[in-house]
Structures are given as structure tokens and as C-alpha cells.
Amino acid sequence: MLVITRKQEESIIIDGEVEVIVLGITKNGVRLGIKAPRNVQVHRREVFEAIAAENIAAIEAKAPVRAAAALLRAAQVKNPGDR
């Protein structure tokens, strides 16, 4: 992990495309601005983790449907004339 000190209005550049700017500093936290290309997703950690959890739940919910569909396809291949 890189640990770096920045003052207000100073920034860091990540991978030549993402700029993180210190907009303000208070006793409660640091206000950051992030400039990134539109194809780069930027989320707070808690939002990122919630999205990941929802994606995992959606995949798990589809697993039984995929298994049933695979069984149906296998049955159709074994008996292509039976309908």
C-alpha cells in the first residue's frame, strides 16, 4: 500500500487516467474529487460490496434454473424425435 500525504487542492494520478483530488479537510473527514474516464467505475467501498453481494445472490438464484435448463437440453438431445 502506498501511503502519501496531500494537502487541499493537491492530487494523485492513478494509471495515467484517474485523478484523485483533495477538495477539503475537516475534523470529520476528507472530501475527495475523482476524475476518471466513463468506463471506469468509481464506488465507495460499502456500495461496491453491496453490488458484489447482489451479483453473487443473483448468480446463486439462477443456478437451479440453469441446472433445470441443462437437464431439459440433455433430455431433448437423447430423444430428439420425442415431443
Q: Can you give the pTM of this predicted structure?
A: 0.65
Express each pLDDT in 27-75 by its tens digit: 999 999 999 999 999 999 999 999 999 988 887 777 677 677 777 777 7
83 within domain boundaries: no
E strand or H helix that includes residue 68: helix 45-78
- Number of structural domains the chain divides into: 1
Task: Report whether 44 contacts 29 (CB < 8 A).
Answer: no
Banded pLDDT at 78 (limits 50, 70, 90): low
For 62, the domain range is: 11-78
Dihedral sign (CA 33, 2, 46, 26): negative
- Residue at 6 is within a domain: no
Q: Count Cβ atoms below 10 Å from residue 21 Cβ, excluding itself.
A: 15
Rounded Cα–Cα distance for residues 14 and 20 (Å): 8
CA 63 – CA 71 distance, rounded (Å): 12
